[in-house]
């Protein structure tokens, strides 16, 4: 599978099954994936976005979120809670809506900017929203952002928007192959978009934790 990246490179995705199996050996990652599967089922069952957001806040620590507890508490309370829920609503509309209404993309940028000036906001926020809106938001540690956007763009104020725009479109464009990989994975239940997210982590930085895959 070949995936075009905004930085101008082509990402050649190889040995997906092996990489996902390696990742599932990490305790935090495995439990994060269990939570993600439960939240997908909760959404189908009609659990409110407010409740799913509440559950995602502490679960974001399972994948080494840099957010301290006071930041997560701030996001859980007004007015930041309102900004987070508005952001989720915009993200759930998908890339077709973002293209049709440029104001949606600007709204996403403004919501992110409203959540704080900590240097780690993009990464920490992604680790919450990857559980609530997994079809649009991947995990965004610095190395993943550099892998996709390029090193010069990884800390740009629009990096969050650039990542979600690329990710949502790539997940749709490669849905058939990603869904096949998800069905074949036996460790935990993944969605197609979840496969893309986890392979992005592995190829951008996670590979350093495991034996080399030839």
What are the pLDDT digits (tens) for 178-196?
999 999 998 899 999 999 9
pLDDT of residue 31: 97
Residue 125 structural domain: 15-207
Answer yes or no: is 123 within a domain.
Answer: yes
Answer yes or no: is 135 within a domain.
Answer: yes
Token digits for 45? 């069952």
pLDDT of residue 109: 87
Answer yes or no: is 213 within a domain.
Answer: no
How do residues 90-105 score in pLDDT, each as one tens digit? 999 888 777 777 778 8
Answer yes or no: is 5 within a domain.
Answer: no
pTM for this entry: 0.94
Sign of CA dihedral 212, 200, 124, 23: negative
Answer yes or no: is 6 within a domain.
Answer: no
Asked whether residue 75 carries a pLDDT value surpassing 70, the answer given is yes
Answer yes or no: is 100 within a domain.
Answer: yes
Helix (H, G, I), strand (E, B) or coil at 3: strand
Answer yes or no: is 3 within a domain.
Answer: no
pLDDT of residue 214: 64
Asked whether 155 and 143 are in contact (CB, 8 A), the reply is: no
Answer yes or no: is 78 within a domain.
Answer: yes
Domain count, the chain: 1
What's the rounded Cα separation, in Å, for the pair 181 and 20?
9
Asked whether 197 and 20 are in contact (CB, 8 A), the reply is: no
């Amino acid at each position: 599978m070949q995936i075009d990246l905004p930085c101008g490179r082509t990402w050649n995705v190889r040995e997906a099954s092996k990489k996902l199996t390696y990742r599932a050996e990490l305790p935090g990652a495995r439990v994060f994936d269990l939570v993600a599967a439960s939240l997908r089922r909760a959404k189908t069952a009609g659990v409110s976005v407010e409740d799913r957001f509440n559950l995602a806040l502490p679960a974001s620590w399972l994948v080494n979120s840099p957010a301290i507890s006071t930041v997560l508490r701030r996001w859980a309370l007004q007015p930041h809670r309102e900004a987070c829920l508005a952001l989720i609503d915009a993200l759930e509309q998908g890339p077709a809506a973002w293209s049709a209404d440029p104001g949606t993309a600007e709204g996403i940028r403004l919501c992110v900017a409203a959540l704080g000036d900590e240097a780690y906001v993009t990464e920490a926020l992604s680790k919450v929203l990857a559980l609530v809106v997994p079809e649009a938001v991947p995990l965004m540690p610095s190395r993943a952002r550099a892998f996709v956007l390029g090193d010069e763009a990884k800390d740009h104020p629009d990096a969050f928007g650039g990542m979600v725009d690329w990710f949502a479109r790539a997940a749709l464009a490669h849905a058939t192959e990603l869904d096949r990989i998800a069905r074949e994975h036996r460790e935990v239940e993944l969605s197609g978009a979840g496969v893309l997210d986890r392979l992005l982590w592995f190829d951008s930085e996670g590979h350093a934790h495991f034996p080399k895959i030839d």
